[in-house]
Structure 1
Amino acid sequence: YLGEIELVRQIKGFSSYMMRKGHWDMFRHKLWGKKFWSEGHFYRSVGMVTKDTMKHYIEECQEKHWNKTREQKSLMGF
Protein backbone atom coordinates (compact mmCIF):
# COMPACT_ATOMS: atom_id res chain seq x y z
CA TYR A 1 0.00 0.00 0.00
CA LEU A 2 1.23 3.47 -0.92
CA GLY A 3 0.13 6.58 0.92
CA GLU A 4 -1.29 9.44 -1.14
CA ILE A 5 1.87 11.53 -0.87
CA GLU A 6 4.15 8.69 -1.99
CA LEU A 7 1.80 7.85 -4.88
CA VAL A 8 1.82 11.46 -6.10
CA ARG A 9 5.63 11.60 -5.76
CA GLN A 10 6.00 8.49 -7.91
CA ILE A 11 3.52 9.68 -10.56
CA LYS A 12 5.23 13.08 -10.80
CA GLY A 13 8.68 11.49 -10.94
CA PHE A 14 7.76 8.97 -13.63
CA SER A 15 5.86 11.44 -15.81
CA SER A 16 8.74 13.94 -15.54
CA TYR A 17 11.20 11.24 -16.58
CA MET A 18 9.07 10.17 -19.57
CA MET A 19 8.48 13.74 -20.78
CA ARG A 20 12.18 14.59 -20.54
CA LYS A 21 13.12 11.36 -22.28
CA GLY A 22 10.71 11.67 -25.20
CA HIS A 23 9.86 15.35 -25.57
CA TRP A 24 12.72 17.39 -24.10
CA ASP A 25 12.90 19.69 -27.12
CA MET A 26 9.28 20.79 -26.62
CA PHE A 27 9.67 22.32 -23.18
CA ARG A 28 13.32 22.61 -22.10
CA HIS A 29 13.32 26.39 -22.64
CA LYS A 30 10.15 26.82 -20.54
CA LEU A 31 11.31 25.14 -17.34
CA TRP A 32 12.25 27.07 -14.23
CA GLY A 33 15.63 25.56 -13.47
CA LYS A 34 15.46 21.77 -13.49
CA LYS A 35 11.94 21.51 -12.08
CA PHE A 36 9.28 19.88 -14.24
CA TRP A 37 6.50 19.87 -11.62
CA SER A 38 5.83 22.42 -8.91
CA GLU A 39 6.04 21.44 -5.26
CA GLY A 40 2.91 20.10 -3.60
CA HIS A 41 -0.15 18.19 -4.64
CA PHE A 42 -3.91 18.09 -4.19
CA TYR A 43 -6.16 15.10 -3.92
CA ARG A 44 -9.76 14.55 -3.02
CA SER A 45 -12.18 11.67 -3.19
CA VAL A 46 -14.75 12.08 -5.93
CA GLY A 47 -17.16 9.54 -4.45
CA MET A 48 -19.99 8.74 -6.82
CA VAL A 49 -19.06 11.38 -9.41
CA THR A 50 -18.87 9.97 -12.93
CA LYS A 51 -15.92 10.18 -15.28
CA ASP A 52 -17.93 12.46 -17.58
CA THR A 53 -18.70 14.86 -14.72
CA MET A 54 -15.03 15.08 -13.78
CA LYS A 55 -14.02 15.58 -17.41
CA HIS A 56 -16.55 18.41 -17.78
CA TYR A 57 -15.28 20.08 -14.60
CA ILE A 58 -11.67 19.92 -15.76
CA GLU A 59 -12.35 21.03 -19.33
CA GLU A 60 -14.98 23.73 -18.71
CA CYS A 61 -14.66 24.98 -15.16
CA GLN A 62 -10.88 25.07 -14.87
CA GLU A 63 -10.10 26.37 -18.35
CA LYS A 64 -9.99 29.96 -17.07
CA HIS A 65 -6.82 29.09 -15.13
CA TRP A 66 -4.95 27.74 -18.15
CA ASN A 67 -2.69 29.67 -20.48
CA LYS A 68 -2.67 27.23 -23.37
CA THR A 69 -0.53 28.00 -26.39
CA ARG A 70 -0.66 26.41 -29.83
CA GLU A 71 2.38 24.22 -29.14
CA GLN A 72 1.08 23.02 -25.78
CA LYS A 73 -0.37 19.53 -25.87
CA SER A 74 -2.56 17.63 -23.49
CA LEU A 75 -1.11 14.73 -21.51
CA MET A 76 -3.74 12.52 -23.18
CA GLY A 77 -2.08 13.28 -26.54
CA PHE A 78 0.94 11.22 -25.59
Structure 2
Amino acid sequence: SFDLDDTLYNNHPIIKAAVSAQQNYLNALPRYQEQGPQYWQQCRQLAALQQPELKDNVTQWRKHTLRLALSKLGFTEQE
Protein backbone atom coordinates (compact mmCIF):
# COMPACT_ATOMS: atom_id res chain seq x y z
CA SER A 1 0.00 0.00 0.00
CA PHE A 2 1.02 3.60 -0.40
CA ASP A 3 0.66 5.97 2.55
CA LEU A 4 -0.12 9.27 0.81
CA ASP A 5 -1.48 10.98 3.90
CA ASP A 6 1.49 10.10 6.13
CA THR A 7 -0.57 8.24 8.71
CA LEU A 8 1.94 5.39 8.97
CA TYR A 9 5.24 7.14 8.31
CA ASN A 10 6.72 10.29 6.80
CA ASN A 11 7.09 9.41 3.12
CA HIS A 12 8.13 12.86 1.91
CA PRO A 13 11.86 12.00 1.77
CA ILE A 14 11.08 8.87 -0.27
CA ILE A 15 8.86 10.73 -2.72
CA LYS A 16 11.39 13.57 -3.06
CA ALA A 17 14.17 11.06 -3.75
CA ALA A 18 12.06 9.25 -6.37
CA VAL A 19 11.12 12.50 -8.14
CA SER A 20 14.74 13.65 -8.04
CA ALA A 21 15.98 10.34 -9.48
CA GLN A 22 13.45 10.54 -12.30
CA GLN A 23 14.38 14.13 -13.12
CA ASN A 24 18.10 13.31 -13.06
CA TYR A 25 17.49 10.43 -15.47
CA LEU A 26 15.38 12.53 -17.82
CA ASN A 27 17.72 15.53 -17.69
CA ALA A 28 20.52 13.27 -18.93
CA LEU A 29 18.61 13.15 -22.23
CA PRO A 30 19.61 16.25 -24.24
CA ARG A 31 16.25 16.42 -26.06
CA TYR A 32 14.45 16.44 -22.72
CA GLN A 33 16.73 18.97 -21.05
CA GLU A 34 16.35 21.37 -23.99
CA GLN A 35 12.62 21.71 -23.22
CA GLY A 36 13.26 23.61 -20.01
CA PRO A 37 12.23 23.14 -16.39
CA GLN A 38 8.47 23.37 -16.98
CA TYR A 39 8.32 20.60 -19.57
CA TRP A 40 7.42 17.82 -17.12
CA GLN A 41 4.61 19.88 -15.58
CA GLN A 42 3.26 20.80 -19.02
CA CYS A 43 3.21 17.14 -20.06
CA ARG A 44 1.63 16.17 -16.74
CA GLN A 45 -1.19 18.68 -17.28
CA LEU A 46 -1.70 17.49 -20.86
CA ALA A 47 -1.86 13.88 -19.68
CA ALA A 48 -4.55 14.86 -17.15
CA LEU A 49 -6.53 16.59 -19.88
CA GLN A 50 -6.24 13.57 -22.15
CA GLN A 51 -7.22 11.09 -19.44
CA PRO A 52 -8.81 12.84 -16.43
CA GLU A 53 -9.34 9.51 -14.63
CA LEU A 54 -5.56 9.28 -14.15
CA LYS A 55 -5.71 11.92 -11.41
CA ASP A 56 -6.92 9.18 -9.09
CA ASN A 57 -4.00 6.88 -9.93
CA VAL A 58 -0.66 8.61 -9.40
CA THR A 59 1.39 5.70 -10.75
CA GLN A 60 -0.54 5.44 -14.02
CA TRP A 61 -0.58 9.23 -14.36
CA ARG A 62 3.22 9.30 -14.02
CA LYS A 63 3.63 6.46 -16.55
CA HIS A 64 1.31 8.13 -19.05
CA THR A 65 3.11 11.46 -18.59
CA LEU A 66 6.47 9.80 -19.12
CA ARG A 67 5.31 8.14 -22.35
CA LEU A 68 3.76 11.41 -23.52
CA ALA A 69 6.81 13.52 -22.70
CA LEU A 70 9.21 11.19 -24.47
CA SER A 71 6.99 10.62 -27.50
CA LYS A 72 6.63 14.39 -27.97
CA LEU A 73 10.44 14.47 -28.17
CA GLY A 74 10.47 11.86 -30.92
CA PHE A 75 11.36 8.79 -28.86
CA THR A 76 9.79 5.57 -30.05
CA GLU A 77 7.97 3.12 -27.77
CA GLN A 78 11.00 0.82 -27.87
CA GLU A 79 13.38 3.61 -26.87
Larger Rg: 1
Identify, as 1 or 2, the structure richer in helix.
2
TM-score bracket, normalised by the shorter chain, equals 0.3 to 0.5
TM-score in terms of structure 1 length = 0.36
Asked which structure has the greater RCO (Cα within 8 Å, sep 6+), the reply is 1
TM-score in terms of structure 2 length = 0.36
